[in-house]
Amino acid sequence: MRFASLQDVLDITNEMPLADRNLPASVYEMLAQTAQKFPDRPALSFQLFADANAKARTLNWAQMHDQVVQAANLFRSLGIGEGDVVALVLPNCAETAVATVAGMVAGIVNPINPLLEPDQIAAILRQSKAKVVVTLRAFPKTDIAQKTAQAVAQAPDVQTVLEIDLNSYLSPPKSWIVPLVRPKVENPPRDLRNFMAEAAKQPKTLQFAPSTDDRIGAYFHTGGTTGMPKLAQHLQSGMVYQGWLGDALLFSEEDVVMCPLPLFHVFATHVIFMAMMKSGAHVIFPTPAGYRGDGVFDQFWKLCERWRITFIITVPTAVSALMQRPVDADLSTVKNAFSGSAPMPLELFNRFTSATGINIIEGYGLTEATCLVSCNPLDGEKRVGSVGVPFPYNKVRIIKQVDGTFVDCATDEIGEICVAGPGVWSGNTYSDASKNVDLYVDHEFLRTGDLGRIDADGYIWITGRAKDLIIRGGHNIDPALIEEALLKHNGVAFAGAIGQPDIHAGELPCVYVELVTGADVSIDELADLCKTHIPEKAAIPKHIEVLEALPKTAVGKVFKPDLRKMAIVRVLNAALADADVDAQVQSVEDDKTRGFVAKITGADRAAVATVLDEFAIAWDVVAGE
């Protein structure tokens, strides 16, 4: 059922209602059907180390089913009902996939980014009211166990903590050494158990009847990096729909999919693993940290050769890093690379396809819509930089506000992208009802906060985030204009353009750049590139800075809030110094109602006010250390 055009998608949609397609009633039913159909085919493989010859563990679909059932029975025995939450604070491993699906079967699973700080993890645990937490046992070179223990101490609803020991992936003598060097965890949780050992005691048939009614199966946090996460609620039907899309349009049981993305994110869990569960395809997870793992980029092409990969799952920042390595393996089995998280710059797209010969398919999704919204046609015209056409049963509108009323934009007119479809639970996107206020257009279409346009042929183009716009004296500047210009230089790996504070204009464009390893590019070269390739004079950056590495999210997006904080510190400190005020910005923090707040030390409030009140940035004077 692969599609070649928007008309194909419309034909699929018009062929019959989604409700008549006899889709599985739940995530468990989807898994059970595939395990029965393909019991001996591999489901997932995980390797602890990136080396192409490293030891790997593979589960077939029958084993995956049995382990999920045992874990779901365990969760039920620990008091997890359909409305209760199992939180996961885990990197990738085979057990993470098992626990994720089992949490959906027994209750509600809440994967949490293990890179967050303990207070942030605790905030999510309290918000979800998690009763059970699955995490790592203390292990060298990771502090996940320690952070989880600190977080659980601040989450009164947590009753039991289950541990996964990565030492099971090691062979002697390394496996003998780990117990001798295992880090200590201060104040461990009271009820602490071994996840796989406890699950192994359970029967391989469900000891409860899974509900056939649609219900919440997952909470995924958005943000969390500010300490104020929102929990997106995902229905079983929305997750099954993601699996159906993958099976119908992307994968078959013959596919082998390389996915170095984290299972605490919807891209890996819903777009990929739900699709594996529906199609019977085989997914590879290399290292606990995925693309962030030691040696993954260096070994990536050889890993693809080892596993005879047919589909690569990636993001633009990972593609940029891969283009800094030689293509040193046989990639003849690789048919496609599916890229999400951000639009692919044209220069990067061309570099990748030229170096590898692999077809890139760009797609678009978001956590609030249970992920997938659109994709470039697999067998039809791909428009580089666009995110393709809406998937079957999804509807996309571009809207703007005129005199307080939402109206649809014209063809190619930029506005806010709004989506409706099987993954959008209108009125209930977030678990906190107050977060759902003003989130919808016409009670059905979710406001994404993404800016974009739809061309005459129905292709969607993302032009930025509404909150990412640089607003210079009332003039809206798309940061992509600046970033695209700099990415034309072969020595530029990543670029992140933001607005820096300015007394007169409100914001002025500035850009931070990460260079390709070994590249030597001067600021003057970068400035000349901007002057040559940025069509709007107002968009030419007033400050260009090269960083050793740009801050990035877990799925490889340039994390612009950190860049904004850096710019605030730089600009405000320069203003204080120019005014001979003996004060400095100690930090920039997030406040739920005030936004970014600069914390100032070293002078009295009156002296600071004479300088900083000129800026549209909140600030506080705090005591010095």
Give percent of the chain with pLDDT exceeding 90. Answer: 75
User: Strand order in 389-390's β-sheet?
Assistant: 56-60, 42-47, 282-286, 256-258, 311-314, 336-339, 359-366, 371-375, 389-390
Burial 154-166 (b: 16+ CB within 10 A, else e): ebeebbbbbbbbb
Helices (H), 344-439: 346-356
- Give the H/E segment covering residue 596: strand 595-601
CA dihedral (345, 350, 355, 356) positive or negative: positive
- Output phi, psi for 324, to 5 deg: -95, 5
Q: Cis ω on the peptide bond leading into residue 173 (within 30° of 0)?
A: yes
Q: Write the DSSP symbol of residue 166.
A: G
Q: Which residues contact 36 (CB under 8 A, 6 or more apart)?
A: none
- pLDDT of 467 above 50: yes
Residue whose C-alpha is closest to residue 71's, from 189, 204, 165, 266: 204
- pLDDT of 170 above 70: yes
- pLDDT of 624 above 70: no
Q: Which whole-number Å values give the CA distances from 170 to 219, 377, 461, in the listed order? A: 32, 42, 46
pLDDT tier at 475, thresholds 50, 70, 90: low
- pLDDT of 224 above 50: no
- pLDDT of 510 above 90: yes
Q: How many CB atoms lie within 10 A of CB 596?
A: 17
- pLDDT of 486 above 60: yes
- Pick from 58-62, 102-106, 602-606: least confident: 602-606
- Tokens standing for 385? 């930089």
Average pLDDT over residues 367-374: 94
Average pLDDT over residues 190-207: 97
- The pairing of beta strand 336-339 with beta strand 359-366: parallel
- Pick from 181-185, 481-485, 552-556, 590-594: least confident: 590-594
Using an 8 Å Cβ cutoff, are 556 and 317 in contact?
yes
Measured between alpha carbons, how far is 412 from 305 in angstroms, rounded to an integer? 42
Residue 471 has what pLDDT? 73
pLDDT tens readout for residues 302-315: 999 999 999 999 98
pLDDT tens readout for residues 20-31: 999 999 999 999
Of the spans 236-245, 465-474, 612-621, which averages the highest pLDDT? 236-245
Measured between alpha carbons, how far is 595 from 590 in angstroms, rounded to an integer? 6
Residue 473 has what pLDDT? 64
Mapping DSSP to helix (H, G, I), strand (E, B) and coil, where does residue 463 land?
Answer: strand
- pLDDT of 225 above 50: no
pLDDT tens readout for residues 550-608: 999 877 889 998 999 999 999 999 999 999 999 999 999 877 556 788 999 987 888 99
Q: Write the DSSP symbol of residue 26.
A: S
Average pLDDT over residues 168-178: 94
Average pLDDT over residues 244-252: 93
Q: What is the mean pLDDT of the chain?
A: 92
Displacement of CA 612 from its chain's centroid (Å): 36
pLDDT tens readout for residues 263-295: 999 999 999 999 999 999 999 999 999 999 999
Measured between alpha carbons, how far is 250 from 338 in angstroms, rounded to an integer? 10
Interhelix angle 523-533/479-486, rounded to 10 degrees, is: 120
Measured between alpha carbons, how far is 544 from 509 in angstroms, rounded to an integer? 9
- Tokens standing for 206? 């469900």
Using an 8 Å Cβ cutoff, are 342 and 557 in contact?
yes
pLDDT tier at 623, thresholds 50, 70, 90: confident
Fold for the domain defined by 6-454: Rossmann fold (3.40.50)
Q: Give the count of alpha carbons within 13 A of 615, CB side only.
A: 25
Give percent of the chain with pLDDT exceeding 70. Answer: 97
- Give the H/E segment covering residue 450: strand 445-454
Long-range contacts at 34-39 (CB < 8 A, ≥ 24 apart):
34/61, 34/277, 34/278, 34/279, 34/280, 35/61, 35/62, 35/64, 35/65, 37/280, 38/253, 38/280
Q: Parse the chain into domains and list their residue ranges.
A: 6-454, 468-621
- Pick from 81-90, 155-164, 189-198, 530-539: least confident: 530-539
Query: Which CATH number describes the domain made up of 468-621?
Result: 3.30.300.30
Measured between alpha carbons, how far is 560 from 574 in angstroms, rounded to an integer? 21
Q: Write the DSSP symbol of residue 265.
A: S
- pLDDT of 176 above 60: yes
Using an 8 Å Cβ cutoff, are 328 and 356 in contact?
no
Q: Which whole-number Å values give the CA distances from 303 to 40, 44, 59, 347, in the listed order? A: 23, 15, 18, 25
More confident: 276 or 383: 276
- Output phi, psi for 208, to 5 deg: -150, 155
- The pairing of beta strand 595-601 with beta strand 618-621: parallel
Average pLDDT over residues 384-397: 93
DSSP string, 453-501: EE-TTS-EEEEEEGGG-EEETTEEE-HHHHHHHHTTSTTEEEEEEEEEE
Residue 227 has what pLDDT? 40
Single-letter code of the amino acid located at 341: S
Measured between alpha carbons, how far is 603 from 606 in angstroms, rounded to an integer? 8
Q: Indicate the pTM of the whole model.
A: 0.82
